[in-house]
Structure 1
Amino acid sequence: MLEGDGIGPEIVPASVLVVDAALAAAGAPPAEWVELPLGASAIGTHGDALPASTLAALEGLDGWLLGPHDSAAYPEPHRSKLNPSGGIRKHFDLFANIRPAKSFDGADAVVPGTDLVIVRENTQGFYADRSTYKGTGEFMPTPDVAIAMGIVTRPAVERIAVEAFELASRRRGRVTIVHKANVLKLTTGLFRDVCREVAARYPQVSVDDFHIDAMTVHLVRRADAFDVIVTENMFGDILSDLAGEIAGSLGIAPSINASHERAMAQAAHGSAPDIAGQDVANPIAMILSSAMLLDWLGARHQDPALARAATLIETAVAGTVRGGVRTRDMGGTAGTRAFAEAVAAGVKR
């Protein structure tokens, strides 16, 4: 567990509380939590927001909880470095960012009934911190000119498309490809075309595609009509925040970042320094991210107890919200810890 910055030291322990309860209820062995330094506190103790000792420790683990970071507030030179989560993603090639958006009964949603998953390619595109082997994809030939490279490769698209179609095969059997091939003909055109090629391996899954600008409109109007959305890095980052709000709040938007060997649970939202330490942050996104991690670990290790623990968490979160226990951003009065305790009690029931 890496608590991170801002509300991280509140929402990560809240998630640990729920995970421990779910593992016990599912008959799984208890977790042995390894606390590792990261973020502003690590700068103070280790001289680096992402210490080498933390990366070395993660090498021996196949799953972890990562709290949010507030890298924009770090002192230089740390502020200009690759942020901690980006550094971890790049180091471990966590190529798949899986971001569900699901509305809850009893909570306001822009589009009730939303239940979709955005599958985001996590290593290429226009994100300079992840798109090159060494250095970044951004450069300035003069002080007045800034250039960014957008990189798309067939192997990277193929592996993320497989993730999307495998997921859709376990859900409602529909994949939507999001691109901008009418303008970025070569890069996002390649993304669309390779996804279409992978689709041919999954005849049981229906496929359609939209341009990114049109997709934002479709989400606002009819998010409940979509199942799995696969897209490139930057488009996926933007769409997942939009989808989280459409489902009810960015505070309920979970995610995992995964390779074939490791997965990192990380809420889609930021560190919210304006409410840090006040016990008002919504821990749902981090709790559900933890459930996603348990489900991923259960599938990787063929361990049904871990998968059951994940289901218990998801069911208990939904039941807690439906029962009227909610944090401030969802119109309730429960604090971070109190909400987590209510979910843990729901898990035990």
Structure 2
Amino acid sequence: MTTTRRYRLGVMLGDGIGPEIVPASVRVVDAALAAAGADAVDWQELPLGAAAIEEHGSAIPAATMSALAELDGWLLGPHDSAAYPEPFRSQLNPSGAIRKHFDLYANIRPARGFEGGKAIAPDTDLVVVRENTEGFYADRNTYAGTGEFMPSPDVAVAMGIFTRPAVERIARAAFELAQRRRKKVTIVHKANVLQLSSGLFKRVCLEVAEGYPDVEVDDFHIDAMTVHLLRRASSFDVVVAENMFGDILSDMAGELAGSLGIAPSINASDDRCMAQAAHGSAPDIAGKDLANPVAMILSSGMLLDWLGTRHGDERALDAAARVEEGVRAAVRGGVCTRDLGGTASTDEFTAAVVERVTPG
């Protein structure tokens, strides 16, 4: 039985181009849901980033974190935490703080070439499923502290943490996704050198694979995987990796598919999801109506797909498909921003996508 519901979604504009590309995404989501016959979204804008520091004394105010817990999902704009004043610059950045607080363990990053775009490998169509809470990223793998320490001025140590429960759940996420796609999972690791830590990642992923006999499985060392990805990106479907390896591979795959400017992502747990473009805040073009909103719009579409899948909501799934096809139809038709070789402004591109998701 299909359920339809009215979603309550958070909006955090962020810094730089965020106040341009996030509202653009809201416009497209609203149009796609209307075209699919779904209820409108109740949007709730929440403070985050440099503006929140000025007004609330925190880049991620406690009130924002509390409000997020009451919502169905969130849109997060890019942030420029490197430009924050101290002590905020040295703290866990806003997106990292949200991911850690809500245990958003799965970072899902698709890379699919655009017809009419500037892809190096236009036949790329894969998804990197990146474990988001452990691995070698020190700010995410400890309950308290940063995971890094210096016993002397000349020695720095960072912890890499791998646990069976964390590997099991990211592996399940990868295999569940593969069943909706082309039924193939590639496990990326470095078990030949990191036999205990990366070895555990590989072994547990292979154990989880036994529960999905219809999914083809292979595995590669991270260094070999970069070469295979460059040579034959089109042969990969779902790629699962620990935090750092997944970060590197997803950026690489995004560039093969066109650029990081078109690279979407979601960060999800079993019951919460945040849409977040993979790129940065681009402060040099902020406020000039030049920003490419593709990645943020597609990330918002991924959020609709996640909501539709979780709640059995066919209209949300329809709207998600409309978002992606609307973006692709606009680029295919020659409407794109300057970074993709076009002349459209942010607003003009958004209007073109809205036109294409709405039945004529």
TM-score (norm 1): 0.99
The partner residue of 1:142 within 131, 152, 162 is 152
How far has the Cα of 1:272 moved from its partner? 1.1
What SS does structure 1 have at the residue aligned with 2:281? Answer: coil
Query: In structure 2, what is the Cα distance between the partners aligned to 1:272 and 1:241?
Result: 16
Query: In structure 2, what is the Cα distance between the partners aligned to 1:54 and 1:60?
Result: 10
Whether 2:324 is the aligned partner of 1:301: answer no
Whether 2:164 is the aligned partner of 1:123: answer no
The partner residue of 2:203 within 181, 193, 211 is 193
1:257 aligns to what? 267
How far has the Cα of 1:85 moved from its partner? 0.1
The partner residue of 1:8 within 15, 18, 25 is 18
What SS does structure 2 have at the residue aligned with 1:118? Answer: strand
The partner residue of 2:191 within 161, 181, 192 is 181
Query: In structure 1, what is the Cα distance between the partners aligned to 2:53 and 2:286?
Result: 19
Query: In structure 2, what is the Cα distance between the partners aligned to 1:213 and 1:72?
Result: 29
Give runs of aligned pairs for residues 1-349 of structure 1, distance below 5 A: 1-349=11-359
What SS does structure 2 have at the residue aligned with 1:210? Answer: strand
How far has the Cα of 1:32 moved from its partner? 1.1
Query: Which aligned segments of 4 or more residues in structure 1 are displaced greater than 6 angstroms?
Result: none
Confirm or deny: 8 A CA contact 1:164 1:228 kept in the other structure. Answer: yes
Identity of paired residues, percent?
A: 73
How far has the Cα of 1:255 moved from its partner? 0.4
Q: Cα deviations across residues 103-133 of structure 1 (Å, max 9, x unaligned)?
A: 0111121112110000000000111111011
User: Where does structure 2 lack aligned partners over 5 or more consecutive residues?
Assistant: 1-10
How far has the Cα of 1:278 moved from its partner? 1.4
What SS does structure 1 have at the residue aligned with 2:116? Answer: coil
- The residue identity in structure 1 corresponding to 2:166 is A
How far has the Cα of 1:214 moved from its partner? 1.1
TM-score (norm 2): 0.96
Confirm or deny: 8 A CA contact 1:22 1:313 kept in the other structure. Answer: yes
Confirm or deny: 8 A CA contact 1:110 1:220 kept in the other structure. Answer: no
How far has the Cα of 1:62 moved from its partner? 2.1
How far has the Cα of 1:277 moved from its partner? 1.2
Q: Cα deviations across residues 149-182 of structure 1 (Å, max 9, x unaligned)?
A: 0000000000000000011111001000001111
How far has the Cα of 1:65 moved from its partner? 0.2
- The residue identity in structure 2 corresponding to 1:184 is L
How far has the Cα of 1:281 moved from its partner? 1.2
Aligned-residue Cα RMSD (Å) equals 0.7
Query: In structure 2, what is the Cα distance between the partners aligned to 1:143 and 1:50?
Result: 31
How far has the Cα of 1:78 moved from its partner? 0.3
How far has the Cα of 1:325 moved from its partner? 0.2
Query: In structure 2, what is the Cα distance between the partners aligned to 1:285 and 1:242?
Result: 15
Query: In structure 2, what is the Cα distance between the partners aligned to 1:111 and 1:272?
Result: 25
Query: In structure 1, what is the Cα distance between the partners aligned to 2:180 and 2:40?
Result: 28
What SS does structure 2 have at the residue aligned with 1:260? Answer: coil
Query: In structure 2, what is the Cα distance between the partners aligned to 1:233 and 1:64?
Result: 22
- The residue identity in structure 2 corresponding to 1:259 is S
Query: In structure 1, what is the Cα distance between the partners aligned to 2:135 and 2:283?
Result: 29
Query: In structure 1, what is the Cα distance between the partners aligned to 2:110 and 2:29?
Result: 19
Query: In structure 2, what is the Cα distance between the partners aligned to 1:183 and 1:235?
Result: 14
What SS does structure 2 have at the residue aligned with 1:129? Answer: helix
Q: Cα deviations across residues 18-74 of structure 1 (Å, max 9, x unaligned)?
A: 001001101111111100000000000000000000001001012010001100000
Query: In structure 2, what is the Cα distance between the partners aligned to 1:210 and 1:337?
Result: 42
Query: In structure 2, what is the Cα distance between the partners aligned to 1:34 and 1:74?
Result: 24
- The residue identity in structure 2 corresponding to 1:127 is Y
